A and B are shown apart, each in its own frame.
Chain A
Amino acid sequence: MTILNRMGLAALSLALTTSVAFAQTEVTWWHAMGGELGTKLEEIVAGYNASQSDYVVTPVYKGSYAETMTAAIAAFRAGEQPDIVQVFEVGTGTMMAAKGAVYPVYQLMADMGADFDPADYLPTVVGYYTDTEGNMLSMPFNSSTPIFYYNKTAFEKAGLDPNTPPATWEDLEAYSKQIIESGAATCGFTTGWISWAQLENLSAWHNQPIGTKENGFGGFDAELTVNGPLQVKHWENLKRWQDEGIFQYGGPGGGADAPAKFYTGECAMYMNSSASRAGVLENAADFEVGFGMLPHYADTPAQNSIIGGATLWVLQGSEEAEYKGVADFFTYLSSPEVQADWHQYSGYLPITQAAYDLGIEQGYYEANPGSDVAIKQMTLNPPTENSKGLRFGNYVQIRDVIDQEFQALLSGDKDAQQALDDLVSRGNQLLRDFEAANQ
């Protein structure tokens, strides 16, 4: 594809008989950002293309995260891969295992002589994407973490302090009851992402392991351990809260029905990605929105939350000139101005300390309450083995298993212990398959 493009470019420049034949190297970037985020992404790329004349980055929207990743893999098998592909965090294990297919970012930056210091990046963000030796394998682009949203107007109506979100799950239960009894809302809370928010982040937030081998960072032979007492207690509570009308389920995956339950005022509290902030503010027309950190159980102090989102992976098989372009583009993308702009627009986390500092300097966080909850929650404590992130193969399917077992719990087919035990044994089977396929 790139050869064809270049031939086209050469033909064009010959036809125009200008002196700038082969002037620009084209770098292709497959991404999964639709809608407003896609427009913003194209704006960033246009800014880069205008800033220099050696390279042209061409962004191509390839659909959902899963579609983009599958498309890139299929293209790689056919020898037609893009230079850069955006891959969601659960695809990290698969990408990392594909040693001959990816060009690790730290190596790319060194080979191309780019100005690159891993220490500039926020450890809690890049930690998810570094190998055990601390080398950064992919370039973080859009990372977020689940945070807590609440309906201040409903809090006020129920006689609660609208400026104090519940700090613990015990508070959350009590507040919910008060809200429902007062008629301020018909349901206490709902949540997006059962897997990400109510299991993975729940574990990290309480400093409990998600799996062995440092949540899978230490090797492919890791096993899941999410059937511990804390997780069982939480899922038991969610089931009970559902039966009592305190909690409403928003569906599998991202929880497609959850946002509407919060926007319409049906549920007074809501947990979802920090990148949902713009959407929440836009849709919550009839009430004032408050922001807070995720609740924790009173007997366990909060640790730090973990991220989700996507990073940019560089694929092998292109020419050096293109990789030079990729390195140059990544340097631009990490610059404080570009990062701060993207972070402030989208609600995704800034990936460098400098971008966060720039936001503080600009007074952005003061002017936009709630916009720094995510970063504060991520950096609440130095990450432990349990709260650095997770890295498991076949994790896309394991996420499905989590949803399935949660549905079995809510429909009353299984109790919490049984659902989580089954989740662990089915998940481990998928992990063993991945291990066997990647030896």
Chain B
Amino acid sequence: MDTKRTVFPSQGLPYLLVAPQIIITLIFFIWPAGQAVKSSFEREDPFGLATSFVGLSHYVRLFQDPAYLASIGRTAVFALAVTVISMGLALILAVAVNRLIRSATTYSTLLLWPYAVSPVVAGILWWFLFNSSTGILPYMLSFFGVDWNHQLNGTHAMILIIVAASWKQISYNFLFFLAGMQSVPQSLNEAAAIDGAGPFKRFWTIVFPLLSPTTFFLLIVNLNYTMFDTFGVIDATTTGGPNQATNILVYKVYTDGYIGLNLGSSSAQSVILMLFVIALTVIQFRYVERRVQY
């Protein structure tokens, strides 16, 4: 590492150079996060006229609330499903496109389009496709004997948001996988081919291990995406229903805080969510990264 160290002429300059980033982090992350931690220990009326310290009671209440515990479970199902589906499909598409020579750019451009669609629009789009009275998918599913009704059937609603959230994320994952694959030295593949390894064997023993930094990066990004950025998809489609079947943690923070004006409990929920994500990221860096080959 010593070779990378830069020597600055003055002691203060490095601090000055990182100052903008530090200030932005302090103002836009540390300070609001601190406020959330503070108000998670308080009970307050919406207008902020009366505030009282209640200690850990918001947290205790949350972990005694079956609805909250169920929401944690649902978030896990949702996050895993979206991550696996969007990364899996993106990898297959990237492998397919990587084999093309002339049309690769066209396909890449087309596959990237969904990423430009905002989460709300993506949600509305799938909501139309799955609409039980006017949508085309329920009509086609009816031939297979499926009575699609995501307004009352919780499993259907969960499938709807998983599909919508995954669809949007595939483009992003695809782009990274494709870039990662193009940096795999062609000579390795050719050498393996000469040694008699088939395409499948070559992929698993050469390409996939060399892609692991990308895969690892995407795993973290995707889990964070499902935990935080899928809000728009849910708000535009199921609004957490039916009967809370799609009320994942981040959406519950919004409904309790923004709609219900229950700031204390909502803050406690965002603190818990923050801890979950920190814990997941730490686990990933400590245990998963060890198996990553840079």
Contacts and interface: CB of A to CB of B under 8 A. Distances in A.
A433 B47 contact: no
Contacts of A251: 151
Q: Main secondary structure on chain B at its contact with chain A?
A: loop
Interface string A210-246: 0000000000000000000000000000000000000
A85 to B, nearest CB: 12
Interface in B125-156: 133-134, 151-154
Contacts of A397: 255-256, 259-260, 262
A97 B50 CA distance: 11
A396 B49 contact: no
Contacts of A266: 133
Contacts of A261: 133
Interface string B70-96: 000000000000000000000000000
A156 B24 CA distance: 69
Interface in B252-270: 255-256, 258-262, 264
Contact of B151 (A249, A394, A408): A249
A413 B152 CA distance: 10
Given A94-B46, A100-B47, A257 B133 contact: yes
Contacts of B260: 394, 396-397, 400
Contacts of A321: none
Given A73-B47, A405-B243, A438-B45, A411 B261 contact: no
Nearest to A439: B50
Interface in B235-284: 239, 241-244, 255-256, 258-262, 264
B9 interface: no
Contacts of B153: 411
Interface in A36-82: 66, 70, 73, 76-77
Interface in A372-388: none
Interface in A83-122: 94, 97-101
Contacts of B134: 260
A410 B154 CA distance: 12
B262 A411 contact: no
A413 B153 CA distance: 10
A25 interface: no
Contacts of B50: 437-439
Nearest to B44: A437
B48 interface: yes
Given A66-B258, A66-B259, A410-B152, A77 B241 contact: no
A355 B47 CA distance: 35
A251 B229 CA distance: 25
Contacts of A405: 243
Contact of A437 (B45, B244, B256): B45
B43 interface: yes
A322 interface: no
Contact of A94 (B133, B154, B244, B261): B261
Interface string A302-336: 00000000000000000000000000000000000
Given A266-B133, A407-B152, A411-B152, A252 B45 contact: no
Interface string B36-53: 000000011111111000
Interface in B7-29: none
B45 A411 contact: no
A233 to B, nearest CB: 21
Given A66-B259, A70-B261, A73-B261, A101 B152 contact: no
B146 to A, nearest CB: 16
A328 B47 CA distance: 27
Contacts of A98: 45-47, 49
A400 B242 contact: no
Nearest to A397: B260
B5 to A, nearest CB: 46
Nearest to A253: B239
Given A70-B261, A73-B261, A397-B259, A413 B46 contact: no
A396 B244 CA distance: 16
B258 A433 contact: no
Nearest to A408: B243
Contact of B243 (A76, A411, A439): A411
A397 B257 CA distance: 10
A241 B3 CA distance: 77
A66 B259 CA distance: 6
Contacts of B46: 73, 94, 98
Contacts of A97: 45
B243 A260 contact: no
B241 A252 contact: yes
A404 interface: yes
A1 interface: no
A200 interface: no
A411 to B, nearest CB: 5
A26 interface: no
A99 B46 CA distance: 12
A299 B113 CA distance: 61
A412 to B, nearest CB: 9
Nearest to B65: A429
Nearest to A250: B151
B154 to A, nearest CB: 7
Contacts of B258: 66, 70
Contact of A411 (B154, B239, B256): B154
Interface string A282-311: 000000000000000000000000000000
A404 B246 CA distance: 12
Interface string A392-417: 00101100100111011011010000
14 contacts: A70-B258, A76-B48, A77-B48, A97-B45, A252-B239, A253-B239, A397-B259, A400-B259, A407-B151, A407-B152, A411-B152, A411-B153, A433-B262, A439-B50
Interface of B: 43-50, 133-134, 151-154, 239, 241-244, 255-256, 258-262, 264
Given A101-B49, A404-B242, A438-B45, 10 more contacts: A66-B259, A77-B48, A100-B49, A251-B151, A260-B133, A394-B262, A404-B243, A407-B151, A436-B43, A439-B50
